[in-house]
Amino acid sequence: MSASRPLLRIERMHGNAIAPRGVADGATGTTRNAASVGVLYVIGQGQYEQLQRMVFAQEGPCPVFAVLDGAIVDDLPSLLQRHAPDAMCLFSGDLDPMLAAAAPYLLALAPGNGGAQLALRDGWNAHWGIVLVADPGTEPHALRAHLRRILRVGTPGGDSMLFRFYDPRAFRSVVPSFDAGQRKAFFGPIRGCYVESRDGQGALYFARDGEATPRVLPLAAAA
Q: Is residue 4 part of a domain?
A: no
- Is the pLDDT at 99 greater than 50, yes or no? yes
Strand partners, 206: 193
Residue 106 covered by a domain: yes
pLDDT-derived band at 196 (thresholds 50, 70, 90) equals very high
d(CA 159, CA 157): 6
Q: Is residue 15 situated within a structural domain?
A: no
Q: pLDDT of 42-93, one tens digit each? A: 688 899 999 999 999 876 789 999 999 999 999 999 999 999 999 999 999 9
What is the Cα–Cα distance from 29 to 32, expressed in whole angstroms?
10
Domain contains 148 = yes
Q: Does 74 reside within a domain?
A: yes
What is the mean pLDDT of the segment spanning 138-164?
91
SS3 category, 222: coil
**Nearest-5° Cα angle at 134, 105 to 94:** 25
User: What's the CA gap between 212 and 168, in Å, rounded?
Assistant: 16
pTM score of the predicted model: 0.84
Alpha-carbon distance 7 to 192, whole Å? 19
- The string of DSSP letters for 51-119 reads HHHHHTT-SSS--EEEEEETTTSTTHHHHHHHH-TT-EESS-SS--HHHHHHSEEEEEE-TTSHHHHII
Give the range of the structural domain holding residue 65, as residue numbers without chain letter. 25-32+39-218
Mean pLDDT, the chain, as a whole number? Answer: 84
The answer to whether residue 16 sits within a structural domain is no
pLDDT tens for each residue of 166-181: 999 999 999 999 999 9
How many domains does the structure of the chain reveal? Answer: 1
* Cβ pair 168, 175 in contact under 8 A: no
Backbone torsions φ then ψ of 103, nearest 5 degrees: -80, 160
